[in-house]
Structures are given as structure tokens and as C-alpha cells.
Structure 1
Amino acid sequence: MTPFFLFIAAALALLLIVTALLFRPLWQGRAITTDAESPALRVLREQRADLDRELAAGKITAEAHAQTLGELEARALAESEAPEQSLGKPRRVWAAGLALVLPLAAVALYLSLGNLQGLNPRATAALAEDAAPTAAQIDAMVAGLADRVKRHPDDLEGLQMLGRSYMVLGRFAEAETTFAQLASKKPEAQTYADWADAVASRQNRSLEGEPEKLVRQALKLDPNNIKALALSGTLAFERKQFKLAVADWEKIAARVPPESEFAQSVDAMLREARQRGGMPQKQAGAPSPVTPSPAAASPLKMRGTVTLAAALRDKASPDDALFLFARPAAGGPPFAGMRFKVSELPIQFDFAQAQLMMGSPDPKQKVIIGARISKRGNAMPQAGDLQGLTAETAMDATGIRIEIAEVVK
């Protein structure tokens, strides 16, 4: 039985039960009785007592007593039956009217205030699909941004957003071209760091060659750029130059909020680098080698954990791409995203470190965070992908838990 017919059957059953409970006592027309005697009956009882005393005193004959007593009994019977006779007919009229009007009123009320489409599985499925942006919608969004940048070459912020959008979508070659174009107009450390990340991603996450040159250029422009330091430390770690890696990552640790997830990740990286390099671990509470500088404010402060359901672990490979994104709860394309690998699960995420794709969102709006595993390395949802979504979440929510437990159909 479909949800529509189940709802109709349940609604009709409840309606019949309520109508029957109201209909039965009204139709029977029972008068409401009390233990108190009515004034009229009390007067008749006193008149009978007077009549008995007159007979005993010889003031009236037995025939007159019997005749008057019969009249009193008739009046007493009429008084006792009058309430029930007067209430019976109006109650039955109300009962008939209620049995007819109540069902019609309930149906009319639902038709005017209810939503019949909510009982249609196809309609609800279509609404659910509309809430989440489709691949075509996101492609159209990015294409619109690319067209806007083409028409307004001086829109450097739009150009940066376009490059970051390409990164989140896994379109690394286009991101590389975009950041190269931005660097020619805005030769800043962050631009070169983003450019290096795009080239390394295209080279299967290898920082050798051109990415290293771009990282060095970024650090030349700003020795404390966090992304450039992260890439430089990663390159040193891969070359087993653990002291250099520690030096770069310690600078990062001094410049991020110590309670953030990103700071905890950096701390874990530092512990591993020190262990492999045979260096002593830093004591808790020891001062950082660099004076902290204020962190850039970001409206995105969502933090939490991503896990993969045990039932789906055989459907994912360690090298599969895992995309983490945030989009408006009201619907629309993602405005921030991050990219990981399945091998990194469980993942501790902090959206304060995420790349914004479409400008800074309103910090008061609710968001939905999603995690999607793609074997094709494409951020666009496709059949066979694995995903998990949160309910509506505030931008400063912490302790968020996302379980990837659904197969995209």
C-alpha cells in the first residue's frame, strides 16, 4: 500500500472514531439527571401530605381523596418526564448534523491547508533533488563565474574564486591556468601558494619541480604564509628532511588558534616529524618559537568528524577522493569545500581552513555539510558515489558527526 492510501485510511479511521464518540450520546438523547429534587416535585409532595392529613381528619371523603391524589400523581409524572422529552429531539438533530458536517469540514480544512503533494513519493523525491544542487547547476554556476571574469578582467577576487572553485571540483588544469593568470595581475604569496597546490594536484600530489619553485616564490613574498609553509614542510617531510619540516610547521602552529582542528592536525604532523627525525618532542605549554599573529576572520567555523559506515567500507578504496563541502540549507551550490582521500578517514575537519568558492556567506544562515566519496575523482555527484549529509547546521557548530552511509543513485 502506498503512503497516500495509508494516510487516507488512517485519517478516515480517526475521523469515524471521533464522529462516533460525539454522535452516540447525542443521538440517544439522555437527559442529564442529578440527585437534587426539582421545586415542582417538592410542592406536589407537600400537597399530597396535606391531602392525607385532611382525609385523616375527616375533612374530605375517600372518593375525593382518591380523585385528587390521581391528579397529583399525573402532574408528578409529567414533571419527571419533561426534561427528557424536551432534550431528546434537539439532541438527535445535533447528532445528525454533526455526523454530516464534521467529516466534510475535516476534508475541506485539509484541502485548503494541507499539501497533497507531500503524499506523493515522486513529488517528495523531486523536492529532495531540487534541494541539492545538481552537477549541471554547479557547472552552470562555475561557467557563469568564468564568463563574468572574462567580461571583467580586473575582477581579481572573482578570478581567485574561480581558481578555488576549479580546485574543489577537481579540475586542476583549469585551476592552474586561472592561478597563473591571477599571479600575473596579483603577484602575492597566497596566489603563488594556490598555484603551487593546483600544479601539485595535477601531478598526483607531487610537489617536485614547478610546484617547489612556486612555493619558494610565495615564501619569498611572505615568509609566514600558512599555505606556503604547509607545502614547504610537506615537501621537506617527503624528502626525509625532518628538521626543515619541523621548522616550517612550527611557524604554522604559532599562527593558528591552538584550539582549532587545524592546529591539532599540525601538532600531530610535528610529533611525527620529530619522531622520525630523532628530535625531542615539544613539552606541553612550551612557548612557540614565533609570536602568534591574528588569524584571518572567517564566518565558517564548523568542526567535526567524518567516518565511513562499516557496511560500505568494501565499496571504497584508500586512494578514492573524498570531497567535503558546505552549502546553504535553503538550497544552492556549495560555497566552500575541501578534498581528502579515503585513506585519511576518520577525518577531523575544520571549515575555518576551507577554501571559499563563491565569496563569504552570511554567517547567520544555516548550512548543510556533505561528505562524498568519488572513485572518478569528480566532485559532481554520480551514481555509485558514497555520501553522507548533515541536517541544518549553524556556521559555528562544533562536534558535528558525518557518517558516509548512503549510495548515490
Structure 2
Amino acid sequence: MTLFLVAAALAVVLTLFLLLRPFLWKPRVSTTTHQQLNAAIYRDQFAELERDRAEGALGEEDYQLAYAELQRRMLEDSRQDDTVAAAAPAPKKTMLALALLVPLTALLLYALLGNPAGLNPPEPQRRFSVDEIERMVAGLAAKLENEPDNFKGWAMLARSYKAMGRLEEAEKAYGRAMKLVETDANLLADYAEVLALNAGGKLDGKPMQYIAKALKLDPDAPQALVLAGTAAFERKDFAKAADYWDRLLKQLPPESEDARSLGESIAEARKRAAAK
């Protein structure tokens, strides 16, 4: 389970960015805030991996694969500029949705990981090249051809493909994992995200079916609540969107900045619901 939470945290930023990227209009974010948030996230993720290996939840090969992928992501994030340009301006309704939904990225990470204790990532044991990471992922894929019932392996492969941007392969790997286990809310939400990304960012249809199933298994699953609220807002069911986000709000420290931002989003959704 802890491995799934680590991977879910990686998925959040990537998913929301890819879902919303076509609509962004030259947004600017604070480099300092971005770097601090990433440092805190990666610090926690490296610690989780170490604990999983120490407790026997991860074998050495799986540990090295996950560790290398975290290193690659951390290095990529550290090189990113603080300005992201988009190809086209966004329609007003999409920009409103962005104003409400972008803060939820930090909220979901906070709900998944808690309040990070520090901002400095651990010193890596060694640096893996992109080629090495790709070879390890390819090795895992080959291994799974001989171990088709290895659920954890398929889940790890799916999330590795997703982190690498190989979304079609990620969808197939998630599909293999889902044939083995369909009772993990985090995995269901991850699969829903990939399906939506491969469908041009559309959450309705099959992605929403998996989101609903995730929430049936765990009504408080943060990632599923964010996606469900997003889908409701997109279809102008503002009352339902507010309900999903309110359930996430209850998981946050009441005096936190995250809770305040989410509260504003909920208030806006309720305002629009009342105006219908």
C-alpha cells in the first residue's frame, strides 16, 4: 500500500498538468515554491522506498527500479523553468475550472503525504542515466511476460510507463494489473487518469466508471475525489463537485492554507449551483 501511495503522489502532478495543459495560457508559478514542494515530496518518497525495502515489501530489483525512477523525476524537475507556455488561449469556462482545480494538486499531495518534515531531498546513492532506467523498465516488462500474475509488478510497470510519458503502454499495463486485482482505490484512480489522458482529457465514460468504483471502495480516496469533483464541475453539476471537494476538505487541517484555498473553490462551486 505504501508503494501505491508513493506512486500516486508522482501521478498527481503529471496527471493534472497533462489534463489541463492544452488550456493553459502562459501561467507562471513561483520557482522557489515549486522547488520546495518537490523537495519535500521526493524526500518523503525516498524515505518510503527505504522503509518498504527494509520491511521486505519491496525486493531489491523493484527497489532499484523505483529508486531510479524517482531520481530521474527529481533531476528533471530541478531543471524545469518557472514558466510554462501553452499553444493556445483557454476559453473562459476552462480558465475558471483551472482557477478552482490547480490548488487541488497541492491539496492532494498534502492529503497523501501529510505535512513534510523537511525540504531537502536525500543524497542519492548513485545517479541513474535515462538509458539505465529504460533498460530496467524493459527488464521488468520482460520479467512480467514470464510472471503474468505478478500484480505488483504490473502496477509498478504501469506507473513507470506513466511517469515516462508512455501513456499507451501505461494503459495496457494498468489493464493487466486490473485483471488481477480490482480492489485498490488508488490503482483504480490511476487507471482512470491514464484512460482520460489517452482520451484527450475526457473523464466521462470509462474513466468515470473507475473513479466511481474507487470511491465505492474508499469514499475518502483523495485522488479519486479530485477527479470526481473535476468531472462534476465539467458537466456543470456544481453541487456534486462541491460535495466531492468538501469530502476532501474534511481530511485537511482546518487552519491550513490548503484548506482555505479548497474552501474558496467549494464556495465558488456552490455559488454557481445556486445560480442555476
Taking structure 1 as the reference length, the TM-score comes to: 0.33
More strand by share: 1
Q: Provide TM-score, normalisation by structure 2.
A: 0.47
Q: Which has the greater radius of gyration? A: 1
